[in-house]
Amino acid sequence: MILVFGKSGQLANELQHHRGVVALGRDHVDLLDPTACANAIHAHLPKVVINAAAYTAVDRAEQEEALVTIINGDAPGAMAQACAELSIPLVHISTDYVFAGNGELPWRPDDGTEPQNAYGRSKLAGEINIRASGAIHAILRTSWIFSAHGVNFVKTMLQLAETRDAVCVVADQIGGPTLARDIALACLKIAEQLTQDPTKSGTYHYSGTPDVSWAEFAAAIFDQAGKVMTVTTIPTSDYPTPATRPLNSRLDCNTTNQVFGILRPDWHIGMKTVLKDLEVIS
């Protein structure tokens, strides 16, 4: 049995389509109570744990950093401690936001971290706590998650296309859009291999290819959806937000391929899947 923390989020939703998955939502365990997270693992005695739960309201996190740090930092640490006690693997989803977000080179797993906002700091705290637990683990950093479920950039762009024929989108933030379904498959493959070979524990990156700007991503969405929309490119400075966004979200995923045999997925293919799921295209 695979125990998944999270139930309604994009990744957790996809994981629940697979056999042997038990998903714990907020009605089952409170992430603000790290001890409850650990107790849930001891109660279920799973083969592996996947933490797909997190506080992801990046801008609101600036005003709630203490709370965010419990959910994204302390709770994963408690999960990891329980996994260490039971000698079972933990697969934990992290983010490109742990990096400074400068430069143009893809971030490698062993690059120095320097989060620029509260969300990034909370996710880094989770990473640190997991490593300190001694648990068998894979910390999987990803970026720009999209799917047919929940709130994400693809669905937002499609909604805007219903009421307007033009949109302004930032063009100086670059990253790899990643289909939630692909992340779910990667998590399951990593979990299986960790069970067989705990020496594969470590920090890894997984994001879609090719890397693009948000503006380029938006243009591709409209093109595949058959929507006539004018995309005007703007700099991040013209779209201020409470939380600083990284300009460089590129992730070097070579180690993930070398260790687990998992290649970066083409997000164009994932996009087509989502548009079909949403019945935008046939």
| CA–CA separation, 274 and 226 (whole Å) | 14
Q: What is the mean pLDDT of the chain?
A: 97
* Amino acid found at 11: L
How many alpha carbons lie under 13 Å from residue 120 in its C-beta half-sphere?
Answer: 17
From the list 97, 119, 204, 206, the catalytic residue is: 119
- Give me the pLDDT at residue 134, please: 97
Encode pLDDT of 225-251 as tens digits: 999 999 999 999 999 999 999 999 999
Question: If DSSP codes are grouped into helix, strand and coil, which group holds residue 167?
Answer: strand
Which of the four pLDDT bands, split at 50, 70 and 90, describes residue 282?
Answer: confident
Q: Is 119 a catalytic residue?
A: yes
| CA–CA separation, 23 and 197 (whole Å) | 25
User: Considering the domain 2-152+177-207+251-265 in this protein, what is its CATH number?
Assistant: 3.40.50.720
Q: Could you tell me if 37 and 54 are in contact, meaning their C-beta atoms sit under 8 angstroms apart?
A: no
Burial of 251 (0-12, 13-18, 19+ CB in 10 A): buried
The mean pLDDT of 6-31, rounded to a whole number, is 94
Which of the four pLDDT bands, split at 50, 70 and 90, describes residue 209?
Answer: very high
DSSP conformational letter for 264: P
The mean pLDDT of 48-57, rounded to a whole number, is 97
Checking 236-239 for CB contacts under 8 A at 24+ apart, the result is 236/170, 236/172, 236/173, 238/168, 238/170, 239/168, 239/170
Which of the four pLDDT bands, split at 50, 70 and 90, describes residue 128?
Answer: very high
Which of the four pLDDT bands, split at 50, 70 and 90, describes residue 120?
Answer: very high
End-to-end CA distance of the chain: 35
Question: If DSSP codes are grouped into helix, strand and coil, which group holds residue 259?
Answer: helix
| Residue percentage of the chain with pLDDT more than 90 | 98
- Say if residue 210 is preceded by a cis peptide, omega within 30 of 0: yes
Structural domain spans, the chain = 2-152+177-207+251-265
pTM: 0.97
